[in-house]
């Protein structure tokens, strides 16, 4: 079923935050919010270091790349274009100069043009889902987008908020954790991966969809496409131009490494074990 060729859409917000905690799936890395301090569990894979002033982790010199879920989002957007269901794919990212590399990767995968929303320095350190979603909402109106696809969450902060907030700000329907999306006339059928299993919904366009793991397998950027990407345009925009205030409402009080793993205690008998557990108040 072919959509009219007037549909454009804004593709994924490419999260280019430092992906420090990767290697194993996210369940072993989850920010735990207690008493307004955020404990980020260190991975044994990568040496993530807490900054000396304990306001965050060191991101200098850490190679930043496209968030894996956003890669999946870009792939889905390009697939829709290949099926001629959408006219144009625009890749957008917010951040300092380096994010242009990530936008180029999206262009190399097949996006038509890019938009770099410049946010750097202190503003970038405190940039969170709320500000990003405001930027996106403003851009969506400016570009007259029909569909926004993003990764369901960033693997460095695991917020899982941006997509939902964009939908709320624009008052658009949302299909989150999509493992399948099909365009049917003017509606998008989205199969969502939820705790209970799979939920299928139909949402009217314009809409926001966030990509989950099983939506697709992102393609490798081919050489000819990488060469073509050079000629594609990346527009530069500032949040102020979009009327967005990137000031953060959150203040990070401190960031600590998790406590050093303590040595275990060996016991001789089961009774000893039970005794020790009772002592510790566990049973």
Partner 1 sequence: MALRTALSRLLVNSQRCSLISVSRAQGTSAPAAYETEEQVKKTPKVQFNCRDVLDLEGQLTEEEIMIRDSFRTYCQEKLMPRILMANRNEHFHREILNEMGELGVLGPTIQGYGCADTSYVAYGLIAREVERVDSGYRSVMSVQSSLVMHPINAYGTEAQKQKYLPKLARGEILGCFGLTEPNHGSDPGGMDTKAKYNHSSRTYTISGAKTWITNSPYADICVVWAKCEDGRVRGFVLERGMEGLSTPKIEGKFSLRASATGMILMDEVEVPEENLLPHVSGLAGPFGCLNNARYGIAWGALGAAEFCFHAARQYTLDRIQFGVPLARNQLIQKKMADMLTEITIGLQSCLQLGRLIDQKKYTQEMISMLKRNSCGKALDIARQARDMLGGNGIADEYHIIRHVMNLEAVNTYEGTHDIHALIMGRAITGLQSFTVGK
Q: Which residues bind partner 1 (CB under 8 A)?
A: 19, 22-23, 25, 44-47, 49-50, 52, 58, 60-63, 65, 68-69, 71-72, 101, 104-105, 108, 155, 213-214, 216-218, 220-227, 229-230
Residue (223 or 270) nearer to partner 1, CB? 223
Nearest-approach distance from CB 116 to partner 1, in angstroms: 14
Residue (72 or 85) nearer to partner 1, CB? 72
Q: Indicate the pairing of strand 174-184 with strand 207-211.
A: parallel
Q: How many helices (H) and strands (E) does the chain have?
A: 7, 12
**Neighbour-count burial of 70, counting CB atoms closer than 10 A to its CB (0-12 exposed, 13-18 middle, 19+ buried):** buried
Residue (103 or 135) nearer to partner 1, CB? 103
Distance between CA 38 and CA 24 in Å, rounded?
A: 20
Residue (69 or 177) nearer to partner 1, CB? 69
Residue (2 or 47) nearer to partner 1, CB? 47
Distance between CA 134 and CA 245 in Å, rounded?
A: 9
Nearest-approach distance from CB 28 to partner 1, in angstroms: 12
Nearest-approach distance from CB 50 to partner 1, in angstroms: 8
Nearest-approach distance from CB 47 to partner 1, in angstroms: 5
Q: Are 149 and 9 within 8 A, CB to CB?
A: yes
Residue (249 or 261) nearer to partner 1, CB? 261
Nearest-approach distance from CB 263 to partner 1, in angstroms: 10
**Neighbour-count burial of 261, counting CB atoms closer than 10 A to its CB (0-12 exposed, 13-18 middle, 19+ buried):** exposed
Distance between CA 250 and CA 120 in Å, rounded?
A: 17
Could you tell me the two tokens for 174?
């949302």
3-state secondary structure of 76: helix
Nearest-approach distance from CB 237 to partner 1, in angstroms: 21
Nearest-approach distance from CB 251 to partner 1, in angstroms: 23
Whats the size of the chain, residue-wise? 283
Residue (4 or 217) nearer to partner 1, CB? 217
Distance between CA 174 and CA 211 in Å, rounded?
A: 11
Distance between CA 138 and CA 227 in Å, rounded?
A: 31
Could you tell me the two tokens for 141?
């109106």
């Amino acid at each position: 079923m072919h959509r009219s060729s007037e549909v454009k859409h804004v593709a994924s917000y490419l999260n280019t935050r430092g992906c420090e905690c990767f290697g194993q799936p996210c369940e072993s890395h989850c920010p735990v919010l207690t008493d307004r301090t955020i404990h980020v569990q260190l991975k044994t894979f990568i040496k993530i270091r807490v900054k000396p002033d304990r306001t965050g982790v060191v991101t200098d010199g850490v190679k930043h790349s496209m968030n894996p879920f956003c890669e999946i989002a870009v792939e889905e957007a390009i697939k829709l274009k290949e099926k001629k269901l959408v006219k144009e794919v625009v890749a957008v990212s917010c951040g300092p100069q380096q994010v242009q590399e990530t936008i180029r990767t999206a262009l190399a995968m097949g996006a038509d043009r890019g938009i770099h929303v410049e946010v750097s320095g202190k503003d970038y350190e405190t940039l969170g889902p709320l500000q990003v979603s405001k930027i996106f909402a403003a851009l969506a109106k400016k570009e007259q987008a029909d569909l926004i696809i993003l990764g369901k969450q960033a693997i460095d902060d695991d917020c899982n908020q941006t997509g939902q907030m964009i939908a709320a700000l624009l008052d658009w329907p949302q299909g989150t954790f999509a493992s399948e999306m099909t365009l049917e006339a003017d509606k998008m059928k989205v199969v969502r991966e939820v705790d209970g299993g799979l939920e299928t919904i139909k949402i009217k366009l314009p809409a926001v969809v966030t990509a989950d793991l099983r939506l697709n397998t992102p393609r490798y950027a081919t050489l000819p496409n990488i060469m073509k990407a050079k000629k594609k345009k990346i527009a530069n925009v500032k949040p102020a131009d979009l009327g967005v205030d990137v000031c953060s409402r959150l203040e990070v009080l401190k960031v600590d490494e998790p406590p050093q793993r303590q040595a275990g205690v060996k016991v001789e008998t089961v009774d000893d074990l039970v005794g020790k557990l009772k002592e510790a108040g566990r049973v």
